[in-house]
Structure 1
Amino acid sequence: MRYIPLLLLCLLLQACTQTQKGLVDTVSLALLGPEDVQISSAQIEALPYASIYLRLNGGQRIFVVLGFDEEGQQKWITQDRSVVVTQHGRVVKTLGLRDNLKEVTNLQQDPLADPRRLTDGASWTRTLSWTENGHFRAGTAVSHFTRLEDRMLDIAGSKIACQVWQEKVELAGDGRSWTNTFWTDAATGLVRQSQQTPGGENLSFDITLLKPAKS
């Protein structure tokens, strides 16, 4: 399914109905808002697009709508045309950033593909490639999952019961390791919130799924 968020900007060039005005206000807030964007639950629901909050490398939180949903991957396009690609809630590729995640292999075996069957001690091995300060890097990453205490999240006005999974990642032969955390909806299995480092040390994401894509 293809989405064209830039069409919303056309609303700025024409007389608006009340519904259209709400969409314009939402887009304007996303592009011109405060340091950390805050979108109301009503505005999120009014937009016909899936949406997320995204924080890159601990910076400003921004509001991003879905650009494309195809072949099981969601492509989130920011105002400056950078692209963050997710699969099962995990960042699997980026484009247009200072440093980028190039590829993640063995995605069909990612335990996040079916979080409701995820168990303590589950593991996953894949190859990562990314850039770090402009230099190409690659390595084999091994993950082990641990279930933490369940949490109730308040997202876009809804209370969502979530299982919390901590993923410890070790880069084989490199000595580096890091920890990712995923909050998965206990009812649907969707990753509703995450803190993840998909590759090098210069690339980290905080993501909150505000409105899932329609299946």
Structure 2
Amino acid sequence: MRALPLLLLALAGCGDTLWARSVDAAWTAAVDRVAPAIAPLEDLPEPDGPALRLWLRGQPTAAVLLQETGERRLWRTAGGVVVATEGGRVTATAGLRQYVAATRFEGPDPLADPAALLDRPAGARRLVDLMEGDRSAAGMRFGVALDCRLRAERTEAAEILLVQERCRTSGSLGFTNRFWVEAEGGAVLRAEQWVGPAMPMLVMEFLSPAS
């Protein structure tokens, strides 16, 4: 999965000076455990079309759909945070202190078939490119390898599965992504995902089936 070209293209069309500077630099692409059920927030009205609800450091914000190509989608908040997703997985971010510039899988993503993970946990390996928000050369890291293990379990709601993805790098970094998915069909409803070693987990909720 390469989210960088799509993200660059969309940001170039946003007209924002900050994004324009990042595009000129050719590196704009880049997005404590939260319970799976959080009551709707009164200050975030339901959108007219596909949208995400994001929690960054516990602060909620809505992100609207900017661009869609198959399973690849690009979302932007009113504050200028941009998140690229493929299915229910974040593949790139921008507008944060640290960016995920691109994500590449070596082989299929086991998250595509979460029900199969109930009986057969699966391994996955992916490479990510990271950069700091100031786009300095010293802050760029390419091809950071994440070795992950995914397993699914049933929740109290029979129609929902919880997929936990435990990942490690070649160093000491370790983290766990969590995805709440429909047992039938495998659509991701809610997720908390790693978006860089200097960032808190990003919590993401799809606000409608169309999202």
Q: By the TM > 0.5 criterion, same fold? A: yes
Against the structure 1 CA distance between its residues 91 and 203, is the aligned structure 2 distance closer, same or farther, given a 3 Å change threshold? farther
TM-score, with normalisation over the residues of structure 2? Answer: 0.69
Question: Which amino acid in 2 is paired with 1:38?
Answer: L
**Structure 1 residue 71, shift from structure 2 partner:** 3.4
Against the structure 1 CA distance between its residues 116 and 55, is the aligned structure 2 distance closer, same or farther, given a 3 Å change threshold? same
Of 187, 190, 203, which aligns to 1:190?
Answer: 187
Counterpart Cα distance in 2 of 1:202 and 1:123: 24
| Alignment match, 1:181 | 178
Contact 1:101 1:131 in 2 (8 A): yes
Counterpart Cα distance in 1 of 2:164 and 2:207: 21
| Alignment match, 2:123 | 123
C-alpha deviations, 1:52-100, integer Å up to 9, x for none?
A: 21012x2311122222221321111110222101112111001222211
Counterpart Cα distance in 1 of 2:89 and 2:80: 20
**Structure 1 residue 203, shift from structure 2 partner:** 4.7
C-alpha deviations, 1:159-187, integer Å up to 9, x for none?
A: x8210011100112x12111111111112
**Structure 1 residue 51, shift from structure 2 partner:** 1.7
Q: Which runs of 5+ in 1 are unaligned?
A: 1-35, 153-159
**Structure 1 residue 39, shift from structure 2 partner:** 4.9
Counterpart Cα distance in 1 of 2:184 and 2:107: 22
C-alpha deviations, 1:98-149, integer Å up to 9, x for none?
A: 2110111027611112323334420101111112575112411111012234
| Alignment match, 1:100 | 99
Counterpart Cα distance in 2 of 1:92 and 1:186: 23
Are 1:137 and 2:141 matched, yes or no? yes
Against the structure 1 CA distance between its residues 50 and 39, is the aligned structure 2 distance closer, same or farther, given a 3 Å change threshold? farther
Contact 1:131 1:200 in 2 (8 A): no
**Structure 1 residue 190, shift from structure 2 partner:** 0.7
| Equivalent residues, number | 167
Q: Percent identity?
A: 26
| Alignment match, 2:164 | 166
Q: Secondary structure at the match of 1:112?
A: helix
Against the structure 1 CA distance between its residues 80 and 40, is the aligned structure 2 distance closer, same or farther, given a 3 Å change threshold? closer
Deviating beyond 6 angstroms after TM superposition, the runs of 4 or more aligned structure 1 residues are none
The structure whose Rg is larger is: 1
Q: Secondary structure at the match of 1:117?
A: helix
Against the structure 1 CA distance between its residues 210 and 74, is the aligned structure 2 distance closer, same or farther, given a 3 Å change threshold? same
Contact 2:98 2:198 in 1 (8 A): no
Contact 1:99 1:133 in 2 (8 A): yes
Q: Which moved more, 1:143-152 or 1:178-187?
A: 143-152
Let me know the Cα RMSD of the aligned residues. Answer: 2.6
More contact order relative to length (CA 8 Å, sep ≥ 6): 2
TM-score, with normalisation over the residues of structure 1? Answer: 0.68
Whichever structure has more helix as a proportion of its residues is: 1
